[in-house]
Structure 1
Amino acid sequence: MSLSVAQGFTKSLAMTVLSEIGDKTFFAAAILAMRYPRSHVLSGCLGALIVMTILSAVVGWAAPSMLSRKWTNHITTILFLGFGLWSLWDAFKDGEAEELAIVEKELNADITCNSREAKESNKADDDDDDDDLKKKHRPFLTQIFSPILLKAFSITFFGEWGDKSQLATIGLAAEENPLGVVLGGILGQALCTTAAVLGGKSLATQISEKIVALSGGVLFIIFGIQSFLSTVGS
């Protein structure tokens, strides 16, 4: 492994772990794993995060070709410093357990709504004894993949879209080797998602969001300073 790949891998791994632990998608995976088969939840959540990591790295890799290297470094510096200050603000404000409660409330509402729709659909299908016809009426993707896997994938993917960890991955891929960023990001996502699914809500409640946010804030600021110094030196 070359030095540039190793540096991108290390930075991406550290950033991903500190960004994803205690994040809303982490809590969502933990709560879903308590209600549905863990293998389906893990596959769906991890699949969404891998796709998001690759897409973000591709965008970051392409950024220098659309903007000058100097402007890319400026934007990356602002992103990292901004996310660092944002994380420090989250660390010192009140309401440490709010994220878990909010995610659980949203998932409960979504599950209740889906259960109601499923009951209505089953009631409508009770008059039809043809199993093949019922299968044809199901959405195409649910005929191939588990509905739980698709549910975990969609909740994670759209929950992560536009999140600071996604934008930070884009910025990191613009600065470092994209292959290293992808490999480090995927490993970090795998570690966090597996911990959330296996540990469940009990693990999620034991994590100190304040310490994680503080550590992440410091890391983002360090990355921001490094990006600033690289801009000055260029």
Structure 2
Amino acid sequence: MIAALLISFGVIFVAELGDKSQLMAMTFALRYRWWIVLAAIFAATTAVHLVSVVVGHFLGLSIPAEWMGIIGGMAMLLFGLWTIRGDELDGEESGKADRVGASVFFAVMSSFFLAELGDKTMLATITLAADNNWLGVWIGSTIGMVGADALAIIVGATLGHRLPERAISLGAAVLFFVFAIWLITEALVNAHSLTTSLIVGAVAVVVTAAGVVWIRRTHARRARELREREQLVERV
């Protein structure tokens, strides 16, 4: 359990660096009392990660251990590509911080709960729970995410400006790629199958190539949108 807790804490803490949840945490903390925001984040994270570990635990019982390692490694590869792509608040998510009424706690909690559904931290928690002690993963992943968001709140409140997201995201992506290589290599050694190794290698190449295309298109779209905004400002 302790090993699962520590691994989950490290992976989810890294996954949360530069994520939109950190941006949301910082945004809310600039408007409301930090302890209310942090308590709401803790409540939402506890609920989301409980769902994640239940799904991951039962998934892990039905899939062979070596394939869970391969799936976990491929998931970490995807998380690394996702992190390089970068995250951002869309109009709806950034607007939630401005529309909060009297019940700040429940507004922040619901915002974080909805934002985390299907996010890479939730998928990482499912992956970890499939091959580790579910209770350790639940506790470690929850602490990891709350810790990362607390860091964003502290930095945002004290410095009043955004984290150096690009540098942090690249560092987090490198760690994800290391986790991916580690998990896949360990699984393939246990599998002792040349066919499996070739299939996994081919899939990894395809996923990486698709991820590079996805990242380039996303960055091109953001650059285009930035130019359009700048041109609109110049006209005004």
TM-score (norm 2): 0.69
Instruction: Find the counterpart in structure 2 of residue 54 from structure 1.
Output: 50
Task: Please tell me the root mean square deviation across aligned C-alpha atoms, in Å.
Answer: 2.6
How far apart are the structure 1 equivalents of 2:10 and 2:93? Answer: 28
Structure 2 unaligned blocks of 5 or more: 191-236
SS at match of 2:118: coil
In structure 2, the CA distance between the partners of 1:112 and 1:61, relative to structure 1 (3 Å rule), is: closer
1:210 aligns with 2:166: yes
Q: CA offsets per residue over residues 57-92 of structure 1, 9 Å max, x none?
A: 2221111223333433332221111222332344xx
Instruction: Find the counterpart in structure 1 of residue 143 from structure 2.
Output: 187
In structure 2, the CA distance between the partners of 1:159 and 1:70, relative to structure 1 (3 Å rule), is: same
Q: How far did residue 224 of structure 1 move?
A: 1.5
SS at match of 1:35: coil
Q: Percent identity?
A: 28
Instruction: Find the counterpart in structure 1 of residue 184 from structure 2.
Output: 228
Task: Check the 8 A contact 1:196/1:204 in 2, yes or no.
Answer: no
SS at match of 1:175: coil
Instruction: Find the counterpart in structure 1 of residue 61 from structure 2.
Output: 65
Instruction: Find the counterpart in structure 1 of residue 84 from structure 2.
Output: 88
Instruction: Find the counterpart in structure 1 of residue 27 from structure 2.
Output: 31
Q: 1:79 aligns with which of 72, 75, 80?
A: 75
Q: CA offsets per residue over residues 40-65 of structure 1, 9 Å max, x none?
A: 22211121012222221222111122
Tell which has more relative contact order, 1 or 2 (C-alpha 8 A, sep 6+). 1
Q: CA offsets per residue over residues 186-223 of structure 1, 9 Å max, x none?
A: 22123223233344366573422122212221221222
Could you tell me which amino acid in structure 1 is paired with residue 172 of structure 2? G
Aligned length: 190
Could you tell me which amino acid in structure 2 is paired with residue 28 of structure 1? M
Instruction: Find the counterpart in structure 1 of residue 193 from structure 2.
Output: none
Instruction: Find the counterpart in structure 1 of residue 116 from structure 2.
Output: 160
How far apart are the structure 2 equivalents of 1:160 and 1:204? Answer: 25
Structure 1 unaligned blocks of 5 or more: 91-97, 116-145
Instruction: Find the counterpart in structure 2 of residue 197 from structure 1.
Output: 153
How far apart are the structure 1 equivalents of 2:29 and 2:176? Answer: 30
In structure 2, the CA distance between the partners of 1:225 and 1:25, relative to structure 1 (3 Å rule), is: same
In structure 2, the CA distance between the partners of 1:34 and 1:89, relative to structure 1 (3 Å rule), is: closer
How far apart are the structure 2 equivalents of 1:74 and 1:21? Answer: 24
Could you tell me which amino acid in structure 2 is paired with residue 65 of structure 1? L
Instruction: Find the counterpart in structure 2 of residue 7 from structure 1.
Output: 3
1:148 aligns with 2:79: no
Runs of 4+ in 1 over 6 A off after TM superposition: none
How far apart are the structure 2 equivalents of 1:39 and 1:25? Answer: 16
Task: Check the 8 A contact 1:41/1:149 in 2, yes or no.
Answer: yes
How far apart are the structure 2 equivalents of 1:178 and 1:219? Answer: 23
How far apart are the structure 1 equivalents of 2:15 and 2:127? Answer: 14
Query: Higher Cα Rg: structure 1 or 2?
Result: 1
Task: Check the 8 A contact 2:29/2:153 in 1, yes or no.
Answer: yes
Instruction: Find the counterpart in structure 1 of residue 40 from structure 2.
Output: 44
Instruction: Find the counterpart in structure 2 of residue 20 from structure 1.
Output: 16
Could you tell me which amino acid in structure 2 is paired with residue 174 of structure 1? A
In structure 2, the CA distance between the partners of 1:85 and 1:28, relative to structure 1 (3 Å rule), is: closer
TM-score (norm 1): 0.70
Could you tell me which amino acid in structure 1 is paired with residue 14 of structure 2? L
